[in-house]
Structure 1
Amino acid sequence: MPLKSILVAFSGDVASCSALQLALSLQMRHSAYVTGVVWHGPLPLESRHRAFLSKDVASMLTGREDEAAQRIGAEFTKRVAASGMPDKASFIDLHEVETFSLPQQARAYDLVVMTRHAAEVGREHAEVRPDVVALRSGRPVITVPDDFAGQVPEHIVLAWDGKRAAARALGDMLNLMPDIQKVTVVSVAKQPEPKAEAGDDVIAYLGRHGIEAQWLHRDAGRRRITHTLLDVCAEVGADMLSMGAYEHSKFTEDLLGGVTRDILTDARLPVMMSH
């Protein structure tokens, strides 16, 4: 399936501008349609003290949020116009559709591009974590670091454990990133060598798609798997990491820590997550 419809979460900050830059680069390469979206729920003050707020105060708080969303929409329009394809873009303020959420909106797009950060303290109502969007929407999500320059990824590291989520990541990567020139498949496990047939299968599969691929095995030892994966990305000069999100339950990962959550915190390159 070609990449034709991209949803980018845009709030006008440094991180979301980087996310928009990647979305626009993909738009130019594939003649895709880009939809910017800002989502903001009730302010924390409004949620906690709704019963004690006068109508005038509640209206003032809502008005400030609406004004901020309008400024964000104007910034989106300006950046899209500078990219050269303004006729293939639009902007949505989901606050105007109170029964709709960002994960729900994402289900009607090929790909979601957004910042990797959670909202700043005090503005948790204004952003949904990218791993949650991937989990609840069923669509692949690319998270982008603040200083991303906007180039389309060509060398991707694929985190591979042979499970369902990793296979989904492999399929999404091939469908949505046709510009891939090289894939480094990484297995992180205690065994000194991965099973040959498993590595051969994935490498052969990529080869049939005309992609140069290599297989690397790493033993994390006492280190976190996250650090091992990111070290490989730096070692091979990858442009992006592709991985399955939440092979275990989200509750378990939030409680005990896990690869998905750690990657969002530590990655310094774009990460595509599929669930």
Structure 2
Amino acid sequence: MSSNHQLQVQCSFGASLTRRRAKAREAGAPAIALHQCRLATNGIDCNRDSPREMEQDMTAQYFLPLATYPDSSSGLIISNAVAFAGYYGANLHACALRVGIPHIPNAWSSLLLDTPQMIEHAETLSRDRAATLVAAATNLAANAMVELSCRTVKTTLPLLHETVATEARFFDLAILECIADVPDTRIVAEAVIFGSGRPAIIFPNKTLAGPIDHLVIAWDGSRAAARAVSDANPFIHKAKRVSVLSLTGEKPLPETTGAHLAEILVSSGVNASATVTRFTSSSTGQSIQQTALELSADMLVMGGFGHSRLRDFVLGGATDGVLEKPLLPVLMSH
């Protein structure tokens, strides 16, 4: 197409829109219609869905890792995951992690008692638990009419936690459990929160999955907290009430930081308010959770803090307190 012809088409199109706007004014069209004409003049299709509407149209994909060795995932986390996915219309992806035990060379195994039999027993136990957990997830999802996919991944014990974090990267959200008597549940949670780049919801060892009517945001103005709020947007906008909680006395905070976030949330259509309380407990994580429970929260949203010190990974106080003993569902993001 020649440049002259392109110019004629553009002029013709612009003249047509000008005539449409004039007719709209004569007919008393509302301002939004005239605004749509101006957007169309600039080549913007204003009939398309807004980003938020398009996001809501997308089906969320939740990830549920199922441990099989040395300890097995609980049936309760499967039940909570299915119920939670069903309430939010999400697809659930269960991944059973079968463990392979590296075989010890004969020179070493001869010094140990029944090493080959012990390895075979551990691998058989892991395989059987994987089948049991997948069957349980399949039955619960079918009864709840939740879309479920299941797969089994074989890994080794040294790579177990890294494998979980890698698998979690494909999904919108990971659903995890933290049980004080089962240390590996916490190690898996840390691996996913700090290694997957995805948010995770940590469930305590009790039935709590259900509608998130009141959501509490632990807010200190940090980058991690901001990331957590962004990751929690689907739940924030569906909650009936949102409280922005700022904890004073633990570290310096601008007095208005929580109120400012609440104002922004209100302007986006969220029923939000700010709450300030003083740090009183010896554990920041427990203080935040106790205050959230006093506010009758159904979920707590907070940033996950951690950094490397020498060769060890050191968690922030609030993160450590929550993972040590979660009291309510906690969405954590790093």
Give distance in 1, aligned partners of 2:214 and 2:104.
47
Residue 107 and residue 119 in structure 1: after superposition, are their counterparts in 2 closer, same or farther (change >3 A)?
Answer: farther
Q: Does 2:110 correspond to 1:110?
A: no
Residue 257 and residue 49 in structure 1: after superposition, are their counterparts in 2 closer, same or farther (change >3 A)?
Answer: farther
* RMSD (Å) for aligned C-alpha atoms: 3.4
Amino acid at match of 1:26: F
Decide whether the 8 Å contact of 1:14 with 1:146 is kept in 2: no
Give distance in 1, aligned partners of 2:286 and 2:121.
46
Question: What is the deviation of 1:168?
Answer: 0.4
Q: Which residue of 2 aligns with 1:18?
A: 76
Residue 170 and residue 96 in structure 1: after superposition, are their counterparts in 2 closer, same or farther (change >3 A)?
Answer: same
Residue 256 and residue 267 in structure 1: after superposition, are their counterparts in 2 closer, same or farther (change >3 A)?
Answer: closer
Determine which of 196, 203, 210 is the counterpart of 1:151. Answer: 210
Q: Which residue of 1 aligns with 2:89?
A: 31
Instruction: State the Cα deviation string for residues 188-247 of structure 1 (Å, max 9, x = none).
Output: 12399953542332012211232111212222156332232122112110001110001x
Q: Which residue of 2 aligns with 1:120?
A: 182
Question: What is the deviation of 1:91?
Answer: 1.3
Determine which of 247, 251, 263 is the counterpart of 1:188. Answer: 247
Decide whether the 8 Å contact of 1:188 with 1:218 is kept in 2: yes
What is the TM-score with the length of structure 2 in the denominator? 0.68
Amino acid at match of 1:270: P
Residue 118 and residue 47 in structure 1: after superposition, are their counterparts in 2 closer, same or farther (change >3 A)?
Answer: farther
Amino acid at match of 1:25: A
The answer to which structure, 1 or 2, has the higher relative contact order (CA under 8 A, 6+ apart) is 1
Q: Which residue of 2 aligns with 1:265?
A: 324
Residue 42 and residue 119 in structure 1: after superposition, are their counterparts in 2 closer, same or farther (change >3 A)?
Answer: farther
Q: Does 2:64 correspond to 1:8?
A: yes
Residue 89 and residue 241 in structure 1: after superposition, are their counterparts in 2 closer, same or farther (change >3 A)?
Answer: same
What is the TM-score with the length of structure 1 in the denominator? 0.82
3-state SS of paired residue (1:161): coil
Residue 136 and residue 118 in structure 1: after superposition, are their counterparts in 2 closer, same or farther (change >3 A)?
Answer: farther
Amino acid at match of 2:123: T
Give distance in 2, aligned partners of 1:134 and 1:64.
28
Decide whether the 8 Å contact of 1:168 with 1:244 is kept in 2: yes
Greater shift after overlay, 130-139 or 109-118?
Answer: 109-118
Q: Does 2:268 correspond to 1:212?
A: no
3-state SS of paired residue (1:146): coil
Larger radius of gyration: 2
Instruction: State the Cα deviation string for residues 96-120 of structure 1 (Å, max 9, x = none).
Output: 6998711101001011001112673
Residue 140 and residue 48 in structure 1: after superposition, are their counterparts in 2 closer, same or farther (change >3 A)?
Answer: farther
Amino acid at match of 1:63: T
Structure 1: 5+ residue stretches without partners: none
Residue 147 and residue 208 in structure 1: after superposition, are their counterparts in 2 closer, same or farther (change >3 A)?
Answer: same
Aligned pairs (5 A) from 1:1-275: 1-2=55-56, 4-11=60-67, 16-42=74-100, 51-52=108-109, 58-85=119-146, 88-95=147-154, 101-117=163-179, 120=182, 124=184, 128-176=187-235, 178-190=237-249, 195-221=254-280, 223-246=282-305, 248-249=306-307, 251=309, 258-275=317-334
Decide whether the 8 Å contact of 1:131 with 1:273 is kept in 2: no
Question: What is the deviation of 1:129?
Answer: 2.5
Aligned positions, number = 267
Decide whether the 8 Å contact of 2:65 with 2:176 is kept in 1: yes
Amino acid at match of 1:84: M
